[in-house]
Structure 1
Amino acid sequence: MQRFMLMLDLKNESKLIQTYENYHQNIPAEIAESIRASGIESMEIYRFENRLVMEIVAHDHFDFEEKSKLDASNEKVQAWEQLMSQFQQVIPGTPEGVKWVLTKQIFKL
């Protein structure tokens, strides 16, 4: 098993944040299927203010590049990403176009 933590910032507007949360209460079945098909076993998103942290637990064979290729060829995923992009913003200091950023583990007990 692999475990990843990613971060993303939402636009800091309470109405947009609430709408984003509402969308995630019942994601489309096609989106859940694409997540599972990529080798992800579980995915959880947590929020503080406008910052999100996502935990992904995936099979050993999971690969972000492969998931990106699958997502790029999936119309439903592309529509979902386009819809979600109106709520998301780039974390300062990250490359242009990158929203979800893989974090670096600095401590484990």
Structure 2
Amino acid sequence: MSDTRRLCYTVDLRDDAELMARYKAWHGPGAVPKPVVDAIRKDGIRDLEIWLYGTRMVLIMEVGPDFDPGTKAASDAANPEVQEWERLMGTFQQPLPGTPAGQTWVAMERIHSLKEQA
């Protein structure tokens, strides 16, 4: 059994072609600021991908068994460079209906796994 867990989150991009192109550019190879990448890795995220269809994005993280989203959120809140990044990215994002105030990405619920099927 693997000690890696997968977590998925979702948010929409604002429906504006120019903003969407800029958002993609900010996430290209080497474009994310090093302190942000370092903070992601330091907090136990082993891999992270963002997928896009239209304006809908899905973030997929692979984390170790000790990863805690609340601890990661607290670490990010205390990191000025991560907060600057979050503010910038928030200008491109449109929270889904029902998203708690002040939040963009929301956790998705896994409802199916092929590994659990007979």
Q: TM-score, normalised by structure 1?
A: 0.96
| Aligned counterpart in structure 2 of residue 15 of structure 1, from 4, 14, 18 | 18
* Number of positions where the alignment pairs a residue of Structure 1 with one of Structure 2: 109
- Distance in 1 (CA, whole Å) between partners of 2:67 and 2:112 is 23
Map Cα deviations across residues 3-34 of structure 1 (whole Å, 9 max, x no partner): 10110111111110010000011201111000
- CA radius of gyration, larger in: 2
- Distance in 1 (CA, whole Å) between partners of 2:99 and 2:76 is 21
Identity among equivalent positions (%) equals 36
- Distance in 2 (CA, whole Å) between partners of 1:72 and 1:54 is 19
Amino acid at match of 2:65: D
Q: What RMSD, in angstroms, separates the aligned Cα atoms of the two structures?
A: 0.8
Q: TM-score, normalised by structure 2?
A: 0.89
- Structure 2 residues not aligned, in runs of 5+: none
| Aligned counterpart in structure 1 of residue 79 of structure 2, from 74, 84, 90 | 74
Runs of 4+ in 1 over 3 A off after TM superposition: none
Please tell me whether residue 5 in structure 1 is matched to residue 8 in structure 2: yes
